[in-house]
Homo-oligomer: A and B are copies of this chain.
Amino acid sequence: MTEPNLQFALVLHEHNKSITNARHIVFTALQAQEPMSMKELVEKCVIHIDRASIYRSVELFEQLGILQRLQIGWKYKLELSSSFNYHHHHLTCTRCNGIIPLPEDSQLEKRLEYLAAKMNFKTIDHQIEIKGICKKCQTKETR
C-alpha cells in the first residue's frame, strides 16, 4: 500500500470507519496537483460511484481532517489537509485560474496570530486568498 493510502486507512480505522471502495476512490481522486472544485471531484468519481457517496465522503473526510475546503473566489475547492500536506496558502490567478501554492511564512503566521491575540481571539485556523495575475499571464499580457 502506498504511503498516503496507508495514512488514510489509519485515520479511518482510528475513527472506526470502514475502508470502503467509494471512500478509496474519492481519496485517490483528491491526490492531484491542485485543489479541485466539488464539480471536478464529482466528474472524476461519478463514473465509478454515486454522487451521494461523493458528498458523504467529502463530509466525512472533512470531519476527520483528511481534507479541507479552501476558498477560491466565491466557491470552495477541496484539497487534502495539512496532515497529508503542509500548512500553506495560495495565490490564485484571475486570468488563467491557476492556483499557486505559497511557501509557509512564519512572519506572516506570527503577525496573524498577534492580531488575533490582541482582540482576545483564540485562533483555530485561518485561510488567506490572494487574487491577482501570475507571472505567466503577465508575460502574455505585455506581448
Q: How many residues of A contact B (CB 8 A)?
A: 34
Q: Is A135 in the interface zone, CB < 8 Å from B?
A: yes
**For the complex formed by this chain, how many copies does it contain in all?**
2
* Chain A residues at the B interface, C-beta cutoff of 8 Å: 69, 71, 74, 76, 91, 93-94, 100, 102, 105, 107-108, 111-112, 115-116, 119-135, 138
A131 CA / B138 CA spacing, docked (Å)? 33
Of the listed residues A91, A94, A100, the one surrounded by the most CB atoms of chain B closer than 10 A to its CB is A91
Beyond A122-B132, A127-B71, A131-B126, whether A105 also contacts B111 by CB under 8 A is yes
A100 CA / B119 CA spacing, docked (Å)? 9
Q: Are B132 and A123 in contact (CB under 8 A)?
A: yes
Which residue from B107, B115, B123, B130 sits with its C-beta under 8 Å from A123?
B130
CB contacts (< 8 Å) of A124 on chain B: these are: 94, 131-133
Which residue from B69, B122, B138 sits with its C-beta under 8 Å from A133?
B122
